[in-house]
Structure 1
């Protein structure tokens, strides 16, 4: 098949085809006599795949890697690339939502003041910029990809030398499931699902669960354990689901990895994906004393929240909230959306 035939078949320009050839994404043979390009079925398939991946916004470098993985039979890696792309698109969508909200704020300000006071403009713009930067600055500081294979052994370890972060782990998971007490037909989200241990508590009762995690290797382990559970690559700051999707959202032993500002944004994201009257339940390490402000805990990348601050946030956002304490740090927070 020659280039003119490809142009007709795939509805693309000859210039685009030559561009992908220059970038090394396709390698058509050339006839010895006239140097005309000849495209095999494999090259046609590559071009079709390139078109599809470009349509979802994937860059050329990632497309090249994805093609290599697919031709090597590694479709898991392609799934990772696509999930990563979806996660980025959700972040962009949320940014657009924030920009729209900022614009609406400027319009309301203009209607009320018949002008745009500099202080009002600055406050709205700074708020929008701050939220955008918080999302963009998300980084995996904890190497959960490297910890995925051994994670279940670590949390199940009952010896005295176990990681103190997971003290009373099993009790906490059971308490979350009991607190939520899901009804038949409800759908829940496990945020920061890891290998799916908390979600498994609900799946065992026949409840439909979805899981989100930033670690592709954690999700790989989760899928091995629960192959029928829907999982998505994502994080607390940009949950890859549309608004009002879930009857309940749960999370365990993950919230303390967020900074104070990230926690605020994360709670807004949980509120966004909850249906009206939806329930939220967190099992996490939290300071119960009001004077203990959010500060780094033992170990890098850990920030224990203040119970008082969390209760204040839920109250200000119209949630009914209860809590119980399991040990000196571990708490169960249960909140119901108005």
Structure 2
């Protein structure tokens, strides 16, 4: 798992590294563009939506939302990522903070139409994911939705199959999503498989 300094150092080459993995259809970013595209299209169904992005990185998704009229808010723990994203979205509300400790103020005191997290929450163990998701659900407007795009699987068995296929590339330090396990806490959770190692988790308010 990368720490804050690691992400600061990786920030400038992040988009290129992700793009190469996606284009080559390799773990861990196979399906990345399609995941972001599906989330983008869902949010665009509500014009002028208020969106909170958790771990927005260089702003790949949020920049598109920002350019298309969304009210963008975000939290990331890398100063360099925030710097890169802010240059693309000067009017966005971007805050530094470790989301493993929850939302920072004033983000925690607001309500949003959508809360999204793409390739960020796999750093949290499942119990922390559940606790954080509960906090996020409390920040949604009526009819709002949480959309998580990430390395994700329907079950432990599907994840183990992917880990075998990935071999030495597999990262044992991450906590990837297993939809069937998370449904025990959030029965209404939906999972859409996008690639062999990626999918979209959605929870409605």
Tell me how far 1:322 sits from its aligned partner.
2.8
Q: Quick check: 1:239 aligned with 2:103?
A: yes
Aligned counterparts of 1:206 and 1:190: Cα–Cα separation in 2: 15
Q: Quick check: 1:263 aligned with 2:129?
A: yes
Match runs of 1:71-220 below 5 Å: 140=3, 143-157=6-20, 160=24, 164-220=27-83
Aligned counterparts of 1:227 and 1:321: Cα–Cα separation in 2: 34
Aligned counterparts of 1:224 and 1:218: Cα–Cα separation in 2: 10
The structure-2 alpha-carbon separation of the partners of 1:209 and 1:150, relative to structure 1 and needing over 3 Å to count, comes to: same
Tell me how far 1:291 sits from its aligned partner.
5.0
| Structure 1 residues 51-94: Cα deviation after superposition (integer angstroms, max 9, x where no partner) | xxxxxxxxxxxxxxxxxxxxxxxxxxxxxxxxxxxxxxxxxxxx
Structure-2 residue corresponding to 1:302: 174
Tell me how far 1:270 sits from its aligned partner.
1.3
Q: Quick check: 1:330 aligned with 2:198?
A: yes
| Structure 1 residues 226-266: Cα deviation after superposition (integer angstroms, max 9, x where no partner) | 22211001132311223452111011111211112221222
Match runs of 1:31-70 below 5 Å: none
Of 210-219 and 173-182, more deviation after overlay is shown by: 173-182
Q: Quick check: 1:227 aligned with 2:90?
A: yes
Secondary structure at 1:335's aligned position in 2?
strand
Contact 2:76-2:97 at 8 Å conserved across structures: yes
| Structure 1 residues 184-220: Cα deviation after superposition (integer angstroms, max 9, x where no partner) | 3321101110011111231232111111101111111
Whichever of the two has the greater Rg, that structure is 1
Unaligned ranges ≥5, structure 2: 164-169
How many residue pairs are counted as aligned between the two chains? 192
Bigger RCO of structures 1 and 2 (CA < 8 A, at least 6 apart):
2
Q: Whose strand fraction is larger, Structure 1's or Structure 2's?
A: 2
Secondary structure at 1:210's aligned position in 2?
strand
Two-structure CA RMSD over aligned residues (Å): 2.5
Tell me how far 1:163 sits from its aligned partner.
6.4
Tell me how far 1:179 sits from its aligned partner.
2.5
Tell me how far 1:174 sits from its aligned partner.
0.4
Unaligned ranges ≥5, structure 1: 1-138
